[in-house]
Amino acid sequence: MKVLIVPLFFMVVLMGCGKVQFASSDEYIQSLKVSNPQVIINDDKAFTNQQSVRLHLQVVNATEMYITNDPSCETGGEWQPFVEARDWDLSELNQEVSVYAKFRRNEKYESECVTDSIIHDDIPPTLNLVETPEVLNGLKSVRVGFMTTDENSGLDKSLCGLDQNALQYCSEHIEVSVNEGYHSVSVKSWDKAGNGSEIKITQWYSDQTGPDVKLIQVPKAYDNQKNQVLLFEANDHSGVQNYECSLNGSPWQSCRENHFLSNLPEGANVFYVRAQDKVGNWSLPVNASWVSDFTPPQVEWLFKPEDFSSLKKERLSFRGVDQLSPSYYYCSIDIEAFQRCEPKEFYSKELVEGNHQYRIYGVDEAGNQSKLMETKWLTDFTPPILANLSLPQHMTNKTDGVIQFQVEDKWTHVASIRCSINGQTFPCSTKTNETLSHQTIGVKNLNIEAVDRVGNILRENLKFTVYQEVTKETEDLDITDHGELDLLFVMDNSGSMDDEQEKMSKRFSSFLPYLEDINWHIAITTTDLREKDKDYQDGQLVHFGETQHRWIEPSMGFSVANDLFKSTIQRKENGSDTESGVGASYRVLERFANGESPHTGFFRDKANFNIVVVSDEDESINEFKKNPGRLVDSVAKLWPGKDFSFHSIVVNEGDDDCKDTFGHRVGKTYEWLSDRTNGVKASVCSKDYAEPLSHIGDKIRNAFRTIKLKCPPVDRDGDGVIDIEVNRSDFPKYTVNGSQLVLEELIPLGKYQIQYYCAVD
């Protein structure tokens, strides 16, 4: 508030200046006055709560000021230099207070006394909450009412705030929406002097949800108890005042934290519980569900071992049924611990022989256990065995033999038995004693097949021998040389044979080596049977060359013997056209039989006898002496058992070119003799006689690898091998040909004993 106390006076000072034109004197005087004085407290605010205030001073042309609490501006202050602002302490509190001021210049010009006032108020308003919520409630919207009084400056404003939110203007009450939890509303009022009241706070907990219910003890998911105690608890900020329970949808009933259920039905059960707090909120129902199962699993076999088995791994299968609970199955084989197993087809571990058992039981989730299911069987892998066997020993086709045996089985009995000898069955049993008679010679296969109860098969293939009833023979050999050979060449000396004689001459040298190590005599006669006094006719032995020798032999040496033969085999004479190789051979034998020389010197009793006929014609006349069969008989008569072969180099069937020349004929008579005596048959038409002579040489040499026995040796034990024993290990390998042993090579010199068997008819 501003009050003008006295009028202002102005002094005009005229200053001299030569060229300055001054205004009128009134204007000048007016410019010297102190004018427009003002004092303003706290920027002209109406209220303050501070004793010290700020004065703002305004004046024109003043140099000093006087500030006081005296309305007359005469006392209570002092002149002091003018400043535009300064602090000032109010003289009174809690009321309207004025401040006074005046101004002057040069102690001559002074302004009137001016004033300004402000109401001082440092007493805060009185604030009271008149409407608050319950400390614990379930409200979502809350109203807080308040009342504020102030006796000095008056109420300016009130601010309200929810929880930690910013304060906002409010009047007499505030309404807030809240969530569940702790909340507070703060209220503060201010008067116009800026004094703030004490903050008033109201606090509460808004419980808008039901209790938190927890099930502490409930039945297992699958349970076999008919009575149950369920434990539960609830937590709520406001506390719990009530529980209600329901089973399987039955009406809610009040219950306690330890709720007892009795005589539960079998099957699915659901238990519900809810809680109410002290402000009336209900919880959501919580539930426990389980299956009450009082029935154990049902276990049954689908496939199990037979009582007796030969399997090393058994196939088993079972089924388990439980209508309410999952079930588990436990299996044990023999004495092993039970282990989990599945109701399906499976195979046992590898078994040993003997008694076995397999056990199964089931347990469901509810704890019900089935009856123990068991199967037993006997495992037998071993076929029956043959015991106390006795087979015929040294049985012959003339004697009886006895078969004895027993068939036994360790684990199961023998179910069947079948016996046969070489495919022919005979009665047998687990204890067999069978006499055999009139058996054929040979190795007998005794087959015994026995099957036990589980199908294990005994198959025995036994052998025994039915021997030939024989006599034992012994040959004592004293080999002092490799054998003797008397070889007679019967040469066709007719006029058509020049070429053949030449071919024979050329190849004789290739023939002689075949006779190495053999003590041989070689003589020549011709097919000319005319009875004239010639050494080549009528079975005479011709002279070799110009010598007196009627035969050649190894002692002459290879070269001499070869030359003599070559010069002699080529005949100079023109012999008879009536060729007779058989007749000439027969005449040679007759001359020997008559004791004629040189025939008696040529033939030796132990020597093998071979004839080689070379002719382009067949035997001419069918006379007694020319009968081929009589020739063989004569040799046998002169030398019983002598090795005799007749070789023919003649016209063969198919030798058409040779046969047509000069009317040559096939040498059928000679070929018959060769076949009869196991001799060589060759073609006289051959361009080269090397091959025919080599065949004859092989045949002759093979004869010296032959040992004659008294009978064809037999295989007495029927094993397929002829039974021959030789006392020396250097005896050559051999084959048996009838009553002969044919050696692979010449036998070494020395003494030998050969034992063999001859069949008894």
Cβ atoms within 10 Å of 624's Cβ, excluding its own: 8
- Across 426-443, average pLDDT: 91
Per DSSP, the residues of 209-272 read S--EEEEEE---SEE--SSEEEEEEEE-TT-EEEEEEEETTPPPEE--SEEEE-SPPSEEEEEE
Q: Which of 515, 524, 518 is nearest to 602 (CA)?
A: 524
- Give dist(CA 344, CA 356) in Å, integer: 20
Same domain, 574 and 692: yes
| pLDDT value for 716 | 79
Write the pLDDT tens digit of every residue in 116-125.
999 999 999 9
Quote the distance between the C-alpha of residue 31 and its chain's center.
127
Q: Residue 107 CA to chain centroid, in angstroms?
A: 128
Q: Do 232 and 201 share a domain, yes or no?
A: no
Query: Degrees (nearest 5) of the Cα angle 331, 337, 338?
Result: 25
Helix (H, G, I), strand (E, B) or coil at 673: helix
Q: What's the pLDDT score for residue 704?
A: 84
The Cα 277–Cα 240 span in angstroms is 4
- Could you give the percent of the chain with pLDDT greater than 70? 94
Write the pLDDT tens digit of every residue in 534-568: 888 999 999 999 999 999 999 999 999 999 999 99
Give the model confidence (pLDDT) of 452-493 as tens digits.
Answer: 999 999 999 999 988 888 999 999 998 877 789 999 999 999
CA distance 536 to 569: 11
pLDDT tens digits for range 617-658: 998 765 655 689 999 999 999 999 899 999 999 999 888 657
Q: Provide the pLDDT confidence category of residue 29 given band limits of 50, 70 and 90.
A: low
Whole-angstrom distance, CA of residue 552 vs CA of residue 562: 9
User: pLDDT band for position 24 (50/70/90)?
Assistant: low
| pLDDT tens digits, one per residue of 505-538 | 999 999 999 998 899 999 999 999 888 778 889 9
Residue type, 632: V
- Among 166, 184, 206, the domain boundary falls at 206
85 and 23 within one domain: yes
Mean pLDDT of 282-295: 96
Band (pLDDT 50/70/90 cuts) for residue 13 is: very low
Please give the single-letter amino acid code of residue 735.
T
Q: What is the 3-state secondary structure (H, E, C) of 135-169?
A: CEECCCEEEEEEEEECCCCCEEEEEEEECCCCCEE
**Measured between alpha carbons, how far is 211 from 709 in angstroms, rounded to an integer?**
127
Domain that holds residue 435: 385-467
Q: 34 and 105: one domain?
A: yes
Q: Note the pLDDT tens digit of each residue in 81-96.
A: 999 999 999 999 999 9
pLDDT in tens, 154-198: 999 999 999 999 999 999 999 999 999 999 999 999 999 999 999
Residue 360 has pLDDT above 50, yes or no: yes
503 plus 594 within the same structural domain: yes
Average confidence (pLDDT) over 25-46: 86
Quote the tokens at residue 310. Answer: 């030969």
| Residue 585 and residue 661 in one domain | yes
Of 350, 379, 408, the one marking the end of a domain is: 379
User: Residue 10: which pLDDT band, with cuts at 50, 70 and 90?
Assistant: very low
Number of domains making up the chain: 7
Q: Assign residue 398 the CATH number of its domain.
A: 2.60.40.10
Question: Smallest Cα–Cα separation from 445: which of 431, 459, 432?
Answer: 459
Same domain, 624 and 726: no
Distance CA 761, CA 759 (A): 6
Q: Are residues 160 and 240 in the same domain?
A: no
pLDDT in tens, 262-272: 999 999 999 99
What CATH code is carried by the domain that includes residue 695?
3.40.50.410
pLDDT at 483: 86
Enumerate the β-bridge partners of residue 288. Answer: 271
Same-domain pairing of 29 and 92: yes
Domain-terminating residue out of 147, 178, 206: 206
Query: Quick one: 305 and 287 in the same domain?
Result: no
Contacts of residue 273, Cβ cutoff 8 Å, sequence gap at least 6: 213, 215, 230, 232, 243, 244, 245, 246, 255, 259, 285, 286, 287
pLDDT at 25: 64
Do 586 and 499 fall into the same domain? yes
Residues 356 and 394 in one domain: no
Q: Is 590 exposed, middle or buried (0-12, 13-18, 19+ CB in 10 A)?
A: middle
pLDDT digits (tens, 9 = 90+) for 203-260: 999 999 999 999 999 999 999 999 999 999 999 998 999 999 999 999 999 999 999 9
